[in-house]
Amino acid sequence: MRKMDIEYNTSRNELVMPEYGRHVQLMVEEAKRLTDNAHRQAFVEKIVDLMYIMNPQQREVEDYRDRLWKHVFRIAGYDLEGVMPPNGIIPTPENDIKRPDHIEYPGTQLRFRHYGHYIQELIKKAKQMEDGPIKEGLVASIGSYMKLAYKTWNKDHYVSDDVIKNDLVTLSGGILSMPDEMAIENLTPMGPPKKSSPQNQRGQQQQGGGKSNKKKKVWKRK
């Protein structure tokens, strides 16, 4: 009996894009061996159609076919002479190198970092406002938030209203201030309203003078 030759994956070429499988890569390699450019073009188009059918969940993705053409060229090692994608742009190895966008970081150093960045933005906004009740209310809210932030990061230290007011003047460049006699209200997180128990509700009804539905018994003399 003739012994069959078995080819193992370990002896084959490494898959460039494993999600498309071995057969797609073999077809791409066959397309590279074709000598007629027109025949190669039609053959690669059929390969793209097959890849499109293999991933139906991706059909709604924008420019999905353009992406498939890029994948075909990547599998071929960008060696498909005479083949042109429908968009007229031949993929190159440089397209695979995607560099992340540069992230701009704040260039200025924040003073009094325990107050946070948003306090700085609120102070800038308040400085641009016209004098009046709305601006005074915003300045009072800023002072309240500053006191809350200070106590959050310095739980073991007492903070007076004078410290907050002086820091506000410093951060605003002397433009914003709070009256000396004004007390800074400390903001506290608000939770959901507490529900009273049925026993407390009955007690409140009795204490509130609510009329009972029970009829009073009248005793008559015999």
Instruction: Examine the pLDDT at 179 and tell me if it is beyond 80.
Output: yes
Dist CA 131 CA 98 (whole Å): 51
Neighbours of 126 (CB within 10 A): 20
Q: What residue type is assigned to position 120 of the chain?
A: Q
Q: What is the pLDDT of residue 190?
A: 43
Q: What is the pLDDT of residue 58?
A: 78
Based on its alpha-carbon atoms, the radius of gyration of the chain, rounded to whole angstroms, reads: 38
Give phi and psi for 179, each to the nearest 5: -60, 145
Q: What is the pLDDT of residue 118?
A: 83
Q: pLDDT tens, 32-88?
A: 999 999 999 999 999 999 999 888 777 777 788 899 999 999 999 999 989 999 999
Dist CA 75 CA 24 (whole Å): 9
Q: pLDDT tens, 6-38?
A: 665 666 678 888 989 899 999 999 999 999 999
| Contact residues for 139 (Cβ-Cβ < 8 A; gap 6+) | 126, 168, 176, 177, 178
More confident residue, 112 or 15: 15
Quick one: average pLDDT of 206-213? 49
Q: What is the pLDDT of residue 40?
A: 94
Neighbours of 112 (CB within 10 A): 15
More confident residue, 106 or 163: 163
Q: What is the pLDDT of residue 204?
A: 52
